Amino acid sequence: MKNAIITYAQGNDFVETLDSEIFLKNLNKHKTFRKYCFTKDLNQKNLDMLSKYFDDVFVCSNPIHNSARDRFMSYYLWMIENYKNFDKIMHLDFRDIVIQKDPFEFMNNHWDKDIFVVSEGMKIKDNYWNKMDMTYFNNTQIQFHKDDFSDYYVINGGTIGGNIFPLSQLFLMLWVNSNRNSQSNTDQATLNYLYPYLKANPKVMVCHPLEDNFCATGEGIKYGNVPVNYNDTFVANKNNENYYIFHQWDRTEVADRIRQKQAKSLSFMI
């Protein structure tokens, strides 16, 4: 069975950046999984450009009113049509991710888990944006079953993977519950509301950058919640184990170094 990375890109200005080129060149290095890109509002030139890096590029047919939320419906519709063709799927944000090692290797090593979500390594109460995001969610979306979310660890909405069918159901749940009555409510707030339920599920692995090496997230690194080691542009944990995924690298001290490498060459090498 095949594994696949899926991602979403909207708008020509979004894909016509140095950081997008870094993402694409890095993605192109990895040959052990399939790659699919879901798009909206791209001209033909950029669709053709993306087709050089992905096995297929889709123009989303479902309505896209809020890209962070509605991409999950695009994914869901494709996944339920293709659940017999793939084993595992990994959703990654477009542009601010570097894959350091095949993330499906990590998932296969934890064969008893169906879904993998990523903690940023900090609590909601310790991060201004996430605290405001969750407060807004609580005030506008939740009538009953309110909780004191401040001690939840932040779960990132841009790095979610797992077995294709259970993952499709999580994506449907995220879309439904973040799409009720607020144009500005985020998918990540919905995911963080679900944190204690995901944590309690024995088939879900809540990956943590201080406990495993699945993913390091720049927001946690930037504010000192996640101490890491750098080897040039590789990021590793304190045991010098390289993380499989380096997310939000543009928020860390190696951002300029990564961009300088890409600016000097048509090939990005880490």
- pLDDT tens column, 84-137: 999 999 999 999 999 999 999 999 999 999 999 999 999 989 988 888 888 887
Q: How far is CA 224 from CA 21, 61, 111, 145, in A?
A: 28, 41, 32, 32
Q: Is the pTM of this model over 0.85?
A: yes
Amino acid at 218: G
Would you say 174 and 187 are in contact if contact means Cβ atoms under 8 Å apart? yes
Q: Is pLDDT at 187 greater than 50 in this prediction?
A: yes
Mean pLDDT, range 4-29, rounded to an integer: 96
DSSP state of 202: T
The pLDDT value given to residue 181:
66
User: Residue 211: which pLDDT band, with cuts at 50, 70 and 90?
Assistant: very high
The pLDDT value given to residue 29:
94
Secondary structure (3-state) at 239 = coil
Q: How far is CA 45 from CA 36, 37, 48, 96, 256, in A?
A: 17, 15, 5, 22, 28
Give the domains, in start order, of the chain with CATH numbers: 2-264 (3.90.550.10)
Q: What's the rounded Cα separation, in Å, for the pair 22 and 261?
A: 9
The pLDDT value given to residue 264:
64
First to last CA, the chain: 29
- % of the chain exceeding 90 in pLDDT: 73
